[in-house]
Amino acid sequence: MASPKPALLAELEKIEGLSAQPSRVAGGTALFFRSKEIAHFHHDRELDLRLTKKVIKELGLVHPQRSTAHPKRAASSQWIEIRYESPSDVAQVVELVRLAAAQV
């Protein structure tokens, strides 16, 4: 199955003020909104997104099981790993990235 990452990046390019650049910390690609990193890719099907712990709780998001990148991440973290596979998942991630940008 083809990677959904190119489709996600194409949709994210439409968000004014958002840019995809090499990650200074995680390696690979990071997403910056107004020069602040709000997300980075762990691989082609997972985005680590800074949403704030309040928003994560309000949305009922939970840390994925069997995380290889952050297996011991605290429940109170501002960051959440988002996995995506399908076009509907991509659309959901785009909305979450918009929400993360609004928190900056």
Using one digit for the tens of pLDDT, what is the confidence trace for 15-24?
Answer: 999 999 998 7
Exposed / middle / buried, residue 51 (Cβ in 10 Å: 0-12, 13-18, 19+): buried
More confident residue, 28 or 14: 14
pTM of the model: 0.90
Region 29-39: mean pLDDT is: 95
Q: How many CA atoms lie within 13 A of 68 on its CB side?
A: 6
Using one digit for the tens of pLDDT, what is the confidence trace for 48-102?
Answer: 999 999 999 999 998 887 888 887 888 889 999 999 999 999 999 999 999 999 9
